[in-house]
Amino acid sequence: MPIARINNHTMYYEIHGRGEPLICIGGWGTFCHGGEAKLARGLTDRYAVLVIDYRGIGQSDDDPEQEPTILLHANDVIGLIDHLGWRDVRFVGLVGMGACIAQEVAIRRPDLVRCMVNMGCWVKVDTFLRDQLELFMVMHREAGFYEFQRFCSAMSFLPEYYNENKQRLLGPQGAWSELNGRYPAHERFIRACVGHDTSERLHLIEAPTLVVHAGQDLVTGPRTTKPLEAGLRNVEGVLMPAVAHIVAGREQKQQFCEILLPFLARH
């Protein structure tokens, strides 16, 4: 069982595929424990893909005495990559917290980041995003996990996709199921996300970066992703006009891979 003692906590991770090193980190969930099936098609054919359980979910524990920050999670990732002896890692930060963590690692340890992909990202929360994130937390706390799951799914997928796939999205095996029974971890994630701010430090990011803008994203759409593109020097921006908060469905996933894989190959 791949567990390491990193940054004063027990950290679970998996490596899938073979090749040059890449880490894929998402929002409030994990690509571990079978979740690697949700990785972009072709990643594990080309790269050794590192995926992790964030603090407090899956098989990673947490220290509730430590202040929850994106920097804390970034130091976890840095510590694990150092533990593995990796350098020049491709970072794929998808939808929310993973994108924020990738920014922080690129600033603090440029030797680790060969290139970076950010989607569903922000450099600093505005009032609207802050209130959305805190409403997700309140919904989970006051109405329970399943109402949070329903609310978050309705905000994160296109209506057509939700209508066709509601039974798959909701329930014990559905979206964000890693948070079921883990409200304290979820609250700490949100506190970290709300506090994230790289707005004055983006000039320190040297790694070539791809910023993907999701045109139909009601949470982290171009309003929050464009400032990252604008603040970086070595950057490519791509708009996926029909995509919501989460890339979903065969056609959209194929389009995403056609953007992602060539960028990674170039770098």
Q: What is the pLDDT of residues 124-142, one digit of tens each?
A: 999 999 999 999 999 999 9
Whether residue 153 lies inside any domain: the answer is: no
Q: Is 250 exposed, middle or buried (0-12, 13-18, 19+ CB in 10 A)?
A: exposed
pLDDT at residue 241, rounded to an integer:
98
The first and second tokens of residue 194, run together, are: 């709300």
Number of structural domains (the chain) is: 1
Whether residue 137 lies inside any domain: the answer is: no
Domain of residue 204 covers 3-123+197-266
pLDDT at residue 140, rounded to an integer:
98
Q: Strands 20-25 and 3-6: what pairing?
A: unpaired
Task: Quote the pTM value.
Answer: 0.96
The DSSP line for 25-61 is E-SSS-S-TTGGGGSPTTHHHHEEEEEEPPTTSTT--
The domain that holds 258 is classified in CATH as 3.40.50.1820
Distance CA 214, CA 195 (A): 23
pLDDT at residue 1, rounded to an integer:
64
Whether residue 33 lies inside any domain: the answer is: yes
Stretches in the chain below the pLDDT threshold 70: 1
Q: What is the pLDDT of residues 173-216, one digit of tens each?
A: 999 999 999 999 999 999 999 999 999 999 999 999 999 999 99
Using an 8 Å Cβ cutoff, are 175 and 30 in contact? Answer: no
Whether residue 217 lies inside any domain: the answer is: yes
Handedness of CA 176, 263, 69, 196 (dihedral sign): negative
Q: What is the distance, to the nearest Å, from the Cα of residue 8 to the centroid of all Cα atoms in its chain? A: 22
Backbone angles phi, psi at 118, to 5 degrees: -125, 130
